[in-house]
């Protein structure tokens, strides 16, 4: 008997898996219940759904993940931040304990670098440090770090440090129209997520053209961070601009970006739950929060200027005897100060109940 080969067309359509994490897509569609949800809620579910959200899984940040952050480029970044904290500690008369509190610590790369730097010195700083990390999603494992749950009680002395915390908060999206800013909602059309217009909002000084974001968590969270230390300082690293620049008339597509396997793009409705989503921070709001809490603000400065002012170049030169490490550090410095990448990050500091200009801000 001769076998006949008949072409057999299988149905290869992966259904909701084509849109991202199939279980997450299903959960979002279920919550929509045939209607629409705000973009802010969509972003919250995509990043932080209790079971399937992007940040629930470890390994999202770093070379093996989807995007780099400064602490994952090279420990040099954390060493510089450690030296900054050390300067605050000295200015305060070397108190012990001295808390370093890091909300949004992720895998703990910054914590590890700061604690290693302190352990590498013999001046009592390591003994004084109590490192508290807050990470509601996949936390790190460094045993020297206390991984705490909110709410935290304020500590007497210390520093609060954040890196790319605020730019990971879910944002409201708006399209400017002659009627005012119209909120972007998201619905499921049976095959994919699509946008649909919501109500008109009243937003002071809102752009008159194009798309823009509002980050409702930024101001209240910044205020609460200011309350975490009774005496000490804050150091915040994040992508963003002052409001005039963030909402400048020429910026008509907003700042929302997605990162999937180290490729940046602007479509939040693909790779849902498998890609990062981020929007630039309104530094005018962070500054207002600092001032409303009565702290003395410094900056914001560009990360590149800040790191050069701290003397990061000297850490590269210090490795000259070890050429492999020298080139790793040289590349690290280039990445951390790259004016089109991490070097664009803004650095905002604030001091509380200490009279001191923190390192990196003297020239401002």
What are the start-end ranges of the E strands in 261-335? 263-265, 276-278, 281-282, 296-302
Compare residues 103 and 254 and give the one whose CB is closer to ligand SAM: 103
Q: Which of these segments, 4-12, 30-38, 98-106, 125-133, binds ligand SAM (CB under 6 A)?
A: 98-106
Closest approach, Cβ 165 to ligand SAM, in A, equals 5
Q: Does 104 bind ligand SAM (CB under 6 A)?
A: yes
Closest approach, Cβ 230 to ligand SAM, in A, equals 21
User: At a CB cut-off of 8 Å and minimum separation 6, what does 31 contact?
Assistant: 37, 41, 45
Torsion of CA 283, 288, 290, 296, to 10 degrees: 100
What part of residues 148-207 is at the interface with ligand SAM (CB under 6 A)? 163-165, 168
Of 352, 342, 260, nearest in space to 71 by CA: 342
Give alpha helix (H) positions in 68-217: 70-73, 76-91, 109-119, 125-128
Site string for ligand SAM, 40-69 (x = CB under 6 A): ---------------x-----x-------x
Compare residues 102 and 183 and give the one whose CB is closer to ligand SAM: 102
Residues shown for the chain: 364
Q: Does 103 bind ligand SAM (CB under 6 A)?
A: yes
Contact with ligand SAM (CB under 6 A) among 137, 224, 243, 335? 137
Q: Does 72 bind ligand SAM (CB under 6 A)?
A: yes
Q: Which of these segments, 117-125, 128-136, 176-184, 289-297, binds ligand SAM (CB under 6 A)?
A: 128-136
- For residues 10 and 246, what is the distance between their CA atoms, to the nearest angstrom? 49
Contact with ligand SAM (CB under 6 A) among 65, 75, 106, 240? 106
- For residues 102 and 150, what is the distance between their CA atoms, to the nearest angstrom? 12
Of 180, 182, 175, nearest in space to 212 by CA: 175
Other CB atoms closer than 10 Å to residue 66's CB: what's the count?
20
Residue with tokens 């808390």: 99
Size of the site for ligand SAM (CB under 6 A): 18
Compare residues 140 and 180 and give the one whose CB is closer to ligand SAM: 140
Question: Site residues (CB under 6 A) for ligand SAM?
Answer: 55, 61, 69, 71-72, 103-106, 109, 134-137, 163-165, 168
């Amino acid at each position: 008997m001769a076998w006949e080969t008949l072409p057999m067309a299988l149905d290869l359509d992966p259904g909701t898996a084509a849109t991202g994490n199939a279980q997450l897509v299903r959960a979002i569609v279920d919550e929509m219940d045939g209607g629409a949800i705000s973009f802010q809620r969509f972003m919250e579910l995509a990043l932080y759904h209790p079971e399937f959200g992007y940040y629930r899984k470890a390994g999202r940040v770093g070379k093996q993940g989807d995007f780099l952050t400064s602490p994952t480029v090279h420990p040099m970044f954390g060493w510089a931040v450690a030296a900054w904290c050390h300067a605050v500690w000295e200015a305060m008369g070397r108190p012990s304990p001295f808390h370093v509190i890091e909300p949004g610590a992720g895998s703990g790369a910054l914590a590890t670098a700061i604690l290693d730097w302190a352990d590498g010195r013999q001046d009592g700083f390591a003994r004084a440090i109590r490192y508290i990390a807050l990470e509601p999603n996949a936390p790190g494992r460094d045993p020297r770090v206390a991984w705490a749950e909110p709410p935290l009680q304020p500590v007497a002395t210390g520093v609060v440090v954040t890196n790319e915390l605020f730019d990971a908060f879910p944002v409201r999206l708006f399209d400017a129209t002659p009627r005012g800013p119209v909120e972007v909602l998201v619905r499921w059309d049976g095959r994919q997520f699509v946008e649909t217009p919501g109500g008109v909002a009243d937003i002071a000084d809102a752009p008159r053209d194009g798309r823009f974001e509002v980050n409702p968590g930024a101001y209240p969270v910044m205020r609460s961070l200011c309350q975490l230390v009774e005496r000490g300082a804050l150091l915040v690293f994040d992508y963003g601009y002052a409001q005039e620049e963030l909402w400048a008339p020429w910026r008509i597509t907003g700042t929302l970006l997605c990162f999937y396997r180290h490729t940046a793009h602007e479509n939040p409705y693909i790779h849902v739950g498998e890609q990062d989503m981020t929007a630039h921070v309104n530094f005018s709001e962070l500054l207002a929060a600092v001032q409303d809490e009565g702290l003395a603000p410094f900056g914001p400065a560009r990360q590149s200027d800040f790191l050069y002012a701290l003397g990061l170049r000297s850490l590269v030169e210090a490795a000259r005897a070890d050429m492999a490490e020298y080139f790793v550090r040289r590349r690290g410095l280039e990445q951390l100060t790259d004016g089109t990448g991490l070097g664009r990050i803004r650095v905002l500091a604030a001091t509380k109940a200490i009279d001191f200009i923190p390192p990196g801000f003297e020239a401002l």
